[in-house]
């Protein structure tokens, strides 16, 4: 499946752009988002990288944790996830706000139980957004501009972690509830805590649904971005192994920043030789995947114009 097939396929709801630091993840996410919107899909491009650069890439302010329409392209919205805002929402979604007595006891108890602390906040929020947009039919498609590999791997292992974490809490709840009913009969009980438990149960169900959607290659595609250099190859290997382990479909690699032929420039010639030699290894390593080559531009990729230019190369309509 070429990148064009991915972007123009109706059933694809999530496209994630990921890879090593600085290789062009944000530019590629932006370019794919512009293509998707121009094709008529209501598209949201979402940055899960705490060091956001989506605003810089689109040359528009997309900060503040709200969905903002992107100027210059119909059907396109953008958002940089805000840590503070998202954390508060996530905590309340996890029932942290309600805090009935059972919840408080459970969290106190959990403090004593190793390995049951809730997962990291940036990733949790980003995942909270995935859950939100899985249910939200306002967009046909959400394109994720992810953080460099390590961070993104943490995000992707979250469904499993959260699932088992919530599972443990819910089991704990069962154990506590008989004790609590005794206490309630002594002090008089409210119904509020039941609501927060119900929310946890619902969150667990949502996570289960998300894991199914994220593993379905008709719905989700992780597009790996890399440059033709040895370090990037190693990191891509690790990334693909993890994606495979978590059943996240990945069939496309963008190889970015290829130095064009320039006989008058010794430096360019040397770099090109090095890259072309790595390209041979890359083609050999990733025979089963679709590879898209993108040249190094003579300027930064910025604004709708730059992203549109990159997009044309991604779908093979320009070289």
Ligand X SMILES: Nc1ncnc2c1ncn2[C@@H]1O[C@H](COP(=O)(O)OP(=O)(O)OP(=O)(O)O)[C@@H](O)[C@H]1O
Residues of this chain that interact with Mg ion (CB under 5 A) are 25-26, 53
Selection from ligand X, Mg ion, none that 87 binds (CB < 5 to 8 A by kind) is none
Selection from ligand X, Mg ion, none that 252 binds (CB < 5 to 8 A by kind) is none
Selection from Mg ion, ligand X, none that 62 binds (CB < 5 to 8 A by kind) is none
Least Å distance, CB 23 to ligand X, is 5
Q: Which is nearer to Mg ion, 144 or 197 (CB)?
A: 144
**Exactly one of 232, 301, 304, 314 binds ligand X (CB under 6 A); which one?**
301
Q: DSSP string spanning 285-307?
A: HTTTSEEEEEEPPSS---HHHHH
Determine, following the binding rule CB under 6 A, whether residue 275 of this chain makes contact with ligand X.
Answer: no
Determine, following the binding rule CB under 6 A, whether residue 148 of this chain makes contact with ligand X.
Answer: yes
Determine, following the binding rule CB under 6 A, whether residue 23 of this chain makes contact with ligand X.
Answer: yes
92-to-95, 105, 126, 128, 199 alpha-carbon distances in Å: 5, 17, 15, 11, 9
Quick one: tokens of 86? Answer: 């998202």
Least Å distance, CB 249 to ligand X, is 21
Q: Would you say the C-alpha torsion 6, 296, 156, 108 has a positive or negative sign?
A: negative
HSE-CB for 243 with a 13 A CA cutoff: 25
Count how many residues are written for the chain.
Answer: 319
Quick one: tokens of 176? Answer: 């506590």
Determine, following the binding rule CB under 6 A, whether residue 55 of this chain makes contact with ligand X.
Answer: no
Q: Which is nearer to Mg ion, 53 or 242 (CB)?
A: 53
Q: How far, in Å, CA of 27 to CA of 58, rounded?
A: 9
Determine, following the binding rule CB under 6 A, whether residue 18 of this chain makes contact with ligand X.
Answer: no
What contacts 196, CB < 8 A, 6 or more positions away? Answer: 95, 98, 99, 100, 103
Selection from ligand X, Mg ion, none that 84 binds (CB < 5 to 8 A by kind) is none
| Residues binding ligand X (CB under 6 A) | 21-27, 49, 53, 148, 256-257, 294, 296-297, 300-301
């Amino acid at each position: 499946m070429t990148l064009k097939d991915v972007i123009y396929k109706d059933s694809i709801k999530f496209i994630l752009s990921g890879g090593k630091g600085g290789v062009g993840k944000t530019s590629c996410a932006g370019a794919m988002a512009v293509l998707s919107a121009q094709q008529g899909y209501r598209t949201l491009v979402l940055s899960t990288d705490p060091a956001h650069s989506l605003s810089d890439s689109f040359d528009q302010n997309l900060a503040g944790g709200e969905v903002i329409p992107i100027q210059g392209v119909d059907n396109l919205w953008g958002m940089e996830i805000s840590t503070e805002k998202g954390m508060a929402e996530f905590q309340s979604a996890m029932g942290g706000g309600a805090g009935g007595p059972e919840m408080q006891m459970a969290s106190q108890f959990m403090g004593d139980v190793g390995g049951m602390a809730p997962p990291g906040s940036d990733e949790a929020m980003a995942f909270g957004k995935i859950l939100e947009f899985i249910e939200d039919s306002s967009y046909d498609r959400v394109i994720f501009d992810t953080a460099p590999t390590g961070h993104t791997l943490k995000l992707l292992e979250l469904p499993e972690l959260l699932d088992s974490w919530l599972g443990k809490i819910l089991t704990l709840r069962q154990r506590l509830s008989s004790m609590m009913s005794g206490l309630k009969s002594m002090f008089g009980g409210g119904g509020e805590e039941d609501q927060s438990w119900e929310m946890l149960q619902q969150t667990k169900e949502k996570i289960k649904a998300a894991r199914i959607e994220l593993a379905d290659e008709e719905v989700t595609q992780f597009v790996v971005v890399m440059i033709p250099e040895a370090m990037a190859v190693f990191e891509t290997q690790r990334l693909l192994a993890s994606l495979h382990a978590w059943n996240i479909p990945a069939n496309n690699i963008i190889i970015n920043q290829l130095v064009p032929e320039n006989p008058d420039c010794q430096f360019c010639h040397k770099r090109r030789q090095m890259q072309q030699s790595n390209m041979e290894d890359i083609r050999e390593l990733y025979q089963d995947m679709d590879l898209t080559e993108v040249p190094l531009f003579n300027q930064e990729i910025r604004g709708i114009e730059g992203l549109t230019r990159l997009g044309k190369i991604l779908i093979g309509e320009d070289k």
